[in-house]
Amino acid sequence: MNGRAWIVVFLSLFLFPYSATAQEELKVFISVDMEGIAGVVVSEECSSSGPDYGYFRRIMSHEANAAVLGAFDAGATEVVVRDSHGSARNILPDLIDPRAKLLRDWSGGPKGMMEGIDESFDAVVFVGYHARAGTADAIIDHTMSGNVMDLSINGQSLPEAGANALIAGHFGVPVVYVAGDQGIVDQVEDLFGSVGTFATKQGIGASSLGLHPEVAQKEIRAGVADAVRSRADFEPFTMTKPYTMVLKLKSEASVYNGSFFPGAQRTGDWELTFSNDNILNVMYAFGVMRR
- Could you give the strand order of the β-sheet that contains 243-249, starting from the edge strand earlier in sequence? 156-157, 148-153, 243-249, 271-276, 265-268
Say if residue 177 is in the same domain as residue 74: yes
Say if residue 119 is in the same domain as residue 193: yes
The phi, psi pair for 156, rounded to 5°, reads -105, 115
Confidence band of 2 (pLDDT split at 50, 70, 90): low
Q: Is residue 4 part of a domain?
A: no
pLDDT tens readout for residues 237-262: 999 999 999 999 999 999 999 999 99
Q: Whole-model pTM?
A: 0.92
**Domain edge (last residue) among 201, 222, 237:** 237
pLDDT (average), residues 1-14: 47
Say if residue 125 is in the same domain as residue 250: no
Q: Check whether 232 has a pLDDT greater than 80.
A: yes
Residues 184, 131 contacting (CB under 8 angstroms): yes
Confidence band of 14 (pLDDT split at 50, 70, 90): very low
Residue 1, amino acid? M
Question: Is the CA virtual torsion 96, 98, 185, 165 positive or negative?
Answer: positive
d(CA 198, CA 185): 7
Q: Is residue 151 part of a domain?
A: no
d(CA 290, CA 274): 12
Q: Which of 111, 26, 103 is nearest to 64 (CA)?
A: 103
The phi, psi pair for 281, rounded to 5°, reads -70, -35
Q: Is residue 261 part of a domain?
A: yes
Say if residue 274 is in the same domain as residue 165: no
Q: Is 87 helix (H, G, I), strand (E, B) or coil?
A: coil
Q: Check whether 21 has a pLDDT greater than 70.
A: no
Q: Check whether 19 has a pLDDT greater than 60.
A: no
Residue 180, pLDDT score:
98
Say if residue 86 is in the same domain as residue 223: yes
Say if residue 189 is in the same domain as residue 291: no
pLDDT tens readout for residues 131-172: 999 999 999 999 999 999 999 999 999 999 999 999 999 999
- Residue 77 lies in domain: 27-144+159-237
Residues 166, 134 contacting (CB under 8 angstroms): no
Q: Is residue 269 part of a domain?
A: yes
d(CA 266, CA 182): 34
Confidence band of 4 (pLDDT split at 50, 70, 90): low
Say if residue 45 is in the same domain as residue 140: yes
Residues 180, 67 contacting (CB under 8 angstroms): no
Say if residue 87 is in the same domain as residue 193: yes
Pairing of strands 196-204, 175-181: parallel
Say if residue 63 is in the same domain as residue 170: yes
Q: Is residue 167 part of a domain?
A: yes
Say if residue 226 is in the same domain as residue 173: yes
Residue 148, pLDDT score:
98
Q: Check whether 13 has a pLDDT greater than 80.
A: no
First to last CA, the chain: 72
Domain count, the chain: 2
Residues in the chain: 291
Say if residue 135 is in the same domain as residue 37: yes
Say if residue 84 is in the same domain as residue 106: yes
Using a 10 angstrom Cβ sphere, with 0-12 exposed, 13-18 middle and 19 or more buried, the burial of residue 104 is middle
Strand partners, 181: 201
Gyration radius of the chain's alpha carbons = 21
d(CA 36, CA 63): 10
d(CA 169, CA 236): 5
Residue 217, pLDDT score:
98
Residue 22, pLDDT score:
56
Q: Is residue 11 part of a domain?
A: no
> What is the helix (H) or strand (E) element at residue 101, kind and residue range?
strand 101-103
> What is the helix (H) or strand (E) element at residue 222, kind and residue range?
helix 213-229
Q: Is residue 40 part of a domain?
A: yes
Percent of the chain scoring above 90 in pLDDT? 92
Q: Which of 129, 115, 113, 112 is nearest to 34 (CA)?
A: 129
Pairing of strands 271-276, 265-268: antiparallel
The CB density around residue 246, as the number of other CB atoms within 10 Å, is 18
d(CA 11, CA 30): 40
